[in-house]
Homo-oligomer: A and B are copies of this chain.
Amino acid sequence: MSILVVGSVAYDSVKTPNGNHQNALGGSAIYFAVAASYFVPVSIVGVVGDDFLPEDKAMLEAHYIDTGGLSRVHGDTFRWTGEYGEDFNEAHTIDTQLNVFAGFEPELASSERKSPFLFLANIDPDLQYRVLQQMEERPQLVAGDTMNFWIQAKAETLARAISEFDTLMINQGEVRQLAKENNLVKAARYVLSQGPQMVVIKRGEYGALSFTSNAIFAAPAYPLETIVDPTGAGDSFAGGFMGYLAASRDLTTAGFRRAMIVGSVMASFTVGSFGPDRLSCLSMGEINDRYREFRRLTYFDGSAEAELPSLTCKDRS
């Protein structure tokens, strides 16, 4: 099973308490594609400028990512400059230069129109909707992301796009804004009433929660001694999540739970460097090891059926 991702490609300049880096390869489509590429073939649809570096294209191709949909347009690649404070949970945008991304109009190749897995990264919801309309077959799974800017500026077209998503992946602050509801359980229920069967709420260093109509799952973030740069963690999460689902073809409740952990695994590597340097040089052994570490991080009983041991009123006597 292959995945199609439509999103941004950028060069990011980021300052964090642990350092700074100029013009690191970034953008939602890049982080998503590299993370998912460990599991299945990925095609990327996006736009880059004249300044897109050959070594960046080579990195993508080394991950078997189909870059045929990455159109090169005269001008500069999208550039984002941002800063993180001590808590690493919120990016402060210092400068945004849309450049060639301002005119982005995704046009899918015929093979891409039959992609069984589709991720609509955080782009204009009008574009998200137009990509959906280009699909010849309804994908098995459509997931999408959005952000505060679209929630404010394009509420109606965003609602139309979201109504077509199977899974909405969204930040904690943004789902509150979208649902006009501070309580996450209620905010998730609102999203589920709008079309998606699942909402994944990303909470940065606190991990992620998934909600369906009948279950909640909590994935912690992997506690790391050094966070270099959280940029791209959410898209890497989405890439691991969908990559695992596409590889395992397991769209059961159990499959989605494991996908939440694989997403957390991939995000935990992304934050270890500026840009996708760390994410792009993983071995399957490292991925499997960290997956097992998530089990050690969260499991508290050997058996999934065990009762709470020794907890009866008799213990009082």
Interface residue ranges, A against B (CB under 8 Å): 17, 37-41, 64, 86-87, 182-186, 203, 206-207, 209, 215-220, 223-227, 244, 247-248, 250, 254, 257-258, 260-262, 284, 287-288, 291-292, 294-302, 304, 307-313, 315-316
Contact = CB atoms under 8 A, between A and B. Distances in A.
B41 A215 contact: no
Given A209-B223, A216-B297, A250-B309, 12 more contacts: A39-B316, A86-B182, A186-B225, A206-B206, A218-B220, A218-B223, A254-B302, A258-B301, A284-B311, A287-B311, A288-B308, A299-B304
Contacts of A302: 254, 304
Nearest to A203: B206
Contacts of A261: 300
Contacts of A215: 296
A306 to B, nearest CB: 8
Contacts of A38: 311, 313, 316
A304 B309 contact: no
A129 to B, nearest CB: 31
A312 B38 CA distance: 8
A203 B247 CA distance: 35
A284 B312 contact: yes
Contacts of A247: 310-311, 315
B300 A227 contact: no
Contacts of A217: 297-298, 300
B183 A226 contact: yes
A311 B299 CA distance: 21
Contacts of A37: 316
A218 B215 CA distance: 19
Given A220-B220, A298-B298, A316-B41, A288 B304 contact: no
A253 to B, nearest CB: 10
A261 to B, nearest CB: 5
Given A186-B225, A218-B223, A308-B291, A284 B299 contact: no
A304 to B, nearest CB: 6
A216 B223 contact: yes
Contacts of A220: 207, 218, 220
Q: In this complex, which of A17, A260, A310 has the most chain B Cβ atoms within 10 angstroms of its Cβ?
A: A310
Nearest to A291: B308
Nearest to A201: B223
A40 B183 CA distance: 34
A246 to B, nearest CB: 9
Contact of A258 (B297, B308, B312): B308
